[in-house]
Amino acid sequence: MITLSQTERTIIEASIRDIKDFPKPGIIFKDITTLLNNKEAYSVLMNHLHQRYKEYDLDYIAGIDARGFIFGAALAQMLGIGFVPIRKAGKLPYTTISQKYALEYGVDEIEVHIDAFGDQKGARVLLIDDLIATGGTANAAATLINQTGAVCVECCFIIALNFLDGIKKLQEKTEVYSLIEVN
Ligand code: AMP
């Protein structure tokens, strides 16, 4: 299984910008726009993901609204497979299934089209997002994928906030791969 080299990790990590106190005091926001507009870092990242996941015999990539769309759609095209958006409630036009999940204050909801992963059961799906924090969003997304009859074979994150328990919870459900770990 292909993992990131130290040189690749250094290039990607250096391209991510920390924004203090966004969107509220106490949060350090991991800004990946500086990765996307850095052609070397973006290319190192996407080539690595391509090398790793071409061995996985995947049928679809599912990306989480909205930054998961950027990496997920690019990767799906490189692998020659389909891309499925998992969206915030109320955005998808056809019949959906949905999952609610807890936020620090209140709840949120995500949805996927009921037929997004085709007619055949057991489609192999990689779920991707830019970052895992509490894991609430990714857990709900993995549950949705499995509810359609497809299988979430792995969740991939560019950044994992390891001081939160998100990954541990998600690992009870599926494999998890993260490139940059923040302790
Ligand atoms: P969670 O459900 O708590 O794992 O939150 C994950 C979602 O929130 C992802 O879609 C991230 O894009 C976003 N997110 C949470 N915390 C941060 C952060 N510190 N920096 C950037 N994005 C974040």
What's residue 104's pLDDT?
76
State if pTM tops 0.85.
yes
Locate the DSSP E strands across the chain.
17-20, 28-31, 60-64, 82-88, 96-102, 107-113, 124-132, 151-161, 175-182
Rounded Cα gap, residues 11 and 147, in angstroms: 37
**Which pLDDT score, from 0 to 100, does residue 58 have?**
98
What is the reported pLDDT for 129? Answer: 98
**Distance between Cα 80 and ligand 1 center (Å):** 28
Predicted local distance difference test score (pLDDT) of residue 92: 98
User: How confident is the model at residue 1, as a pLDDT?
Assistant: 86
Looking at residue 64, what is its pLDDT?
98
- Ligand 1 centroid to residue 142 C-alpha, Å: 16
pLDDT given at position 103: 87
Quote the DSSP letter at residue 170. Answer: H
Residue 104: active-site member: yes
**What are the structural domains of the chain?**
6-182 (3.40.50.2020)
Instruction: Give me the catalytic one of 8, 9, 87, 104.
Output: 104
Phi and psi at residue 112, to the nearest 5° = -140, 150
Give me the pLDDT at residue 73, please: 98
Report the pLDDT value the prediction gives residue 45, as an integer from 0 to 100: 98
Parts of the chain with a pLDDT under 70: none
> Quick one: pLDDT at residue 87?
98
Residue of 137, 165, 168, 182 best suited for mutating to test ligand 1, as the one with most atoms within 8 Å of CB: 137
